[in-house]
Amino acid sequence: MIADKVRAIWCRELQRDDISVDDDFFALGGQSVIMAKIQGAFIEELGVEVPVDQMFLNPTVASISSYIESMGAVTP
């Protein structure tokens, strides 16, 4: 499931283990450097390139996962 993988990436990059699917990236302390790391992880681990504007428009695990799924991404 993509949401589980996205959540794992967020937990690692935000150095937290208590992130829910509805937590807001920016409220968790997310900023541009962490966002860039997450974008890189999406490419490397999920095989999808998520534009920066979509990261801002989808600031939760649930919403960015839905966006990634809408792109037709298939996770290994």
What are the chain's domains? 2-73 (1.10.1200.10)
Residues 23-71: pLDDT tens digits?
A: 999 999 999 999 999 999 999 999 999 999 999 999 999 999 999 999 8
CA dihedral 37, 38, 39, 45 (to 10 degrees): 110
pLDDT at res. 46: 94
SS3 of 24, please? strand
Instruction: Indicate whether 73 pLDDT > 70.
Output: no
pLDDT at res. 4: 96
Burial readout 27-57 (b: 16 or more C-beta within 10 A, e: otherwise): ebebeeebbeebbebbeeebebebeeebbee
Length of the chain: 76
Instruction: Indicate whether 75 pLDDT > 70.
Output: no
